[in-house]
Amino acid sequence: EDIELSIAYSKALVKIDILTSKEQRSIERALKSISNEIKNKKFNWKPELEDIHMNIESRLHDLVGSFAGKIHTGKSRNDQIATIERMYVKNSIHDLANKIEILQKEIVLKADNHLDYVMPSYTHLQRAQPILLSHQLMAYYEMLQRDKSRLNNCYEIADELILGSGAVAGSFYKLDRNFLAKELGFKKINSNSIDGVSDRDFIIEFLSSISISMMHLSRISEELIIWCSEEFDFIKLSDDVVTTSSMMPQKRNPDFLELIRGKFGGILGNFISLLVTMKSLPFSYNRDMQEDKKPLINSVDEFSNSLINMTQIIKKSKFNKNKLENATNGNILATDIADLLAINGVPFREAHIKVSDLTNKLNKQDKVLSDLSPADLKEMLKIDFNLKINLFKSINSRKLKGGTATAQVRKEIITAKKSLNL
């Protein structure tokens, strides 16, 4: 980003006769050469030169001579850094949004291929009502959709050129800031130089979005960790994302999921770290603000790696159809029975009490609702009509938009596929 900015700035300096066209071409060639040296790990970094910007400028001087010093005319490291950080954030958002979509594709494909798998839904980690596994998976897709929306909002906030603000008061030189904005791909130009060089809201906003997204990955991880336990056995993870114990040879520990879950703490800490750094700073630039880079770059790296790993975990996982369906035995159709009573004229509160009392009575007899026949239900509830209910009838009765009915979930998957160009 720093080199890209310097190339654009050298072109702007030609427009105000600080550099000749020949000097600019020499500088551009040299900067591209420096970029290749850095990419190929052949650049000789000099710690005594303080930072990356001075290292690049020093190397530029080596390659083109004294007119390299003209590149800093009218430019402060204050507006330079504020601009390249925005470029970095924008580039990172493109990369992260792409990785989120790759994860979403795996989730949607899994949902599409498991439309006939049923399972219990959970509230309070207690079995609630029967749903399709695909409905549960598409909940992950929806969370990630919001994550992309937040990143897009961060992009809009970051998409503002600061270069030309100088150290704090604006530039003495008649720089064409519209030209610079176009060269560097910025949609708009900042209106206040003081705010421009001292603003890090765009990073705070970005780290907040990453923190929320990482919290989502942590929740998915937690769910899959529970599901792959022997007690649940809903899912089997691939061998390359589990490890054995150093002592217990039978173990298949979900380490990759645990590490994703564990990374959230550091990412949240990065967000809080920058927020606390900025909260007491007077305008405009203060050296404390150089502490923004470590949390920024670390959060991008950790979130990026977590997305890559979660994608592979979802892609290679296998669901246990029998275990999922067997877990729906018990009292999971209690709400459906209460609803059927309500449809047949029993006030819902009364129906709720009737079914609750029945499940309590069965519990004392070591029985559950799934043990009862329709005739048993009719007799025990003291009703004069038959209750015809089963898992798939329950699932497919919830056919409003957002419900777990097969037709509705299939529509949701089709919509997602179109959005993802699948």
Does 124 qualify as catalytic in the annotation? yes
Give the relative orientation of helices 201-227 and 255-279 as an angle to the nearest 10 degrees: 160
Burial profile 245-258: b = 16 or more Cβ within 10 angstroms, e = fewer: eeeeeeeeebebbe
Q: Find the angle CA(147)-CA(148)-CA(151) to the nearest 5 degrees.
A: 90
Q: Two tokens at 119?
A: 């399972």
The number of beta carbons lying within 10 Å of the beta carbon of residue 184 is 20
**Residues shown for the chain:** 422
Q: Which amino acid is at 102?
A: I
One of 66, 124, 280, 373 is an active-site residue; which one? Answer: 124
216 catalytic? Reply is no
Nearest to 255 by CA among 235, 267, 238: 238
CA-CA-CA-CA torsion sign (62, 64, 67, 72) = negative
Of the candidates 33, 149, 245, 356, the residue annotated as catalytic is 245
> What sign does the CA torsion over 366, 368, 372, 377 have?
positive
Strands 188-189 and 235-236: unpaired
Catalytic residue list: 124, 245
